[in-house]
Amino acid sequence: MIRILHAADFHLDSAFSSLPPEKAASRRREQRAALEQLAALCEGCDLVLLSGDLFDSARVYRDTLDALKRFFAAVSAEIFIAPGNHDYLTQGSPYLTEDWGERVHIFTSNTVERVRLDACDVYGAGFTAQEMPPMLDGFRVNDPDRLNLMVLHGDLQPNSVYNYISAEAVAASGLDYLALGHVHKGEVRQFGKTVCAWPGCLMGRGFDECGEKGVYKVTLDKSACKTEFLPLRTRKYEILSVDAGDDPLAAIRAALPAQTGDDCYRILLTGESDAVDLPALERALAPRFYSLSVRDCTVPKQALWAAAGDDTLRGHFLRDLKEQYDTADEGQRRRIAAAAKLVTALMDGREVSL
């Protein structure tokens, strides 16, 4: 049985171009600091598989190379890296120019190579250009009786220009575990007897990378594969929809989880509401977040019975309901008003939730 730490898509030195320069620089420092957490998670593992896009681009700060080397030095396991589309191997790539130490194996060829260890065979290949044709097609393990792993960057989207990996190629490979990168949301799949997984990116960088991020700890032998998601403590991006109601500030406060101070939130106000004062809301709520934006997606409140006098379908419908409403008791009134609101919203083509 071997224990693997599988991570990918660090995207170190991302531009964070939506942030002001000093905040972007601070986010890049946080990316480097996340490697220290990662080193702690690698404790007790025999292998560390890193499936590409460790760097966001060819432009890498010296601070980042040093942080990565400190991470590698802190890990006692063998480390395997398969460069991806963001950090593909090209002249001047830090993968080729830096001395990464003895335990770090970087797959520098775009055809699959094998490294034999006592406990298993580790296969891998690296991107040598931004786009790569399928690299797994036709691959078979050399020795099906051994424990066979591969580290690779690519995805399952047919016609993907980033090393399209077909379910058939995975199922035919004879691999026990295929450690993939490229998809930024964690996912474990199985094709044939091969388990393949994308751990997702190491930390969220925008509202297209929401929720908790982390790595997989994999326990593997010839008969079983267990994957466990280990989250990293990093800033989260979250999008939250809140029905504005009569008091949007109270509605947002009621909808928020307790701890949001480290996180980046986008709050969408929905439903019917009178004019929402966005700057005042953001001022009141900003101290509870690392960053916050509130968007007003509400529609104006309509006087419920305003159209009851009109000679239209809406007018006739509302007049009938209004007559019932006027003679009803309190409980019935609430139900009748809710029915009037619902049907007028439907007549306006608005989305309603029941």
Which residues form the interface with Mn ion (CB under 5 A)?
A: 9, 53
**Considering beta carbons, is residue 186 or 248 the nearer one to Mn ion?**
186
Please compute, for residue 338, the number of CA atoms within 13 A of its CA located in the half-sphere on the CB side: 8
Contacts of 90 (CB under 8 A, 6+ apart): 58, 128, 129
Rounded to a whole number of angstroms, the minimum distance from the CB of residue 199 to Mn ion is 11
Question: Which DSSP symbol is given to 198?
Answer: E
Q: Considering the complex, state which of residue 52 and residue 248 has its C-beta at the smaller distance from Mn ion.
A: 52
> Measured from the CB atom, is 13 or 53 closer to Mn ion?
53
With respect to Mn ion, which residue has the nearer C-beta, 9 or 263?
Answer: 9
Residue 161: CB minimum distance to Mn ion, A? 14
Q: Are 74 and 104 in contact (CB under 8 A)?
A: no
Q: Which token pair is 22?
A: 């000093």
CB 86 to Mn ion: min, Å: 6
Which residue, 53 or 238, has its beta carbon nearer to Mn ion?
Answer: 53
Task: Please report where in the chains the tokens 């009569």 appear, as a residue.
Answer: 246
Coil, helix or strand at residue 86 = coil
Minimum CB distance to Mn ion smaller for 56 or for 78: 56
CB of 287 to Mn ion, least distance (A): 33
Which phi and psi (to 5°) does residue 274 adopt? -75, 170
Please identify, using beta-carbon distances, which residue of 54 and 112 lies nearer to Mn ion: 54
Q: Smallest distance, Å, CB 201 to Mn ion?
A: 6
- 176: tokens are 């026990």
CB-CB contact of 110 with 137 (8 Å) = no
CA–CA separation, 156 and 164 (whole Å)? 6
Q: What is the DSSP string of 285-313?
A: HGGGSSEEEEEE--B----TTGGGGSSSH
- Find the shortest distance in angstroms from Cβ 53 to Mn ion: 4
What is the number of the residue whose Cβ is closest to Mn ion?
53
Tell me 3's DSSP state. Answer: E
- Name the minimum Å distance from CB 25 to Mn ion: 21
What angle separates helix 21-41 from helix 62-74, to the nearest 10 degrees?
10
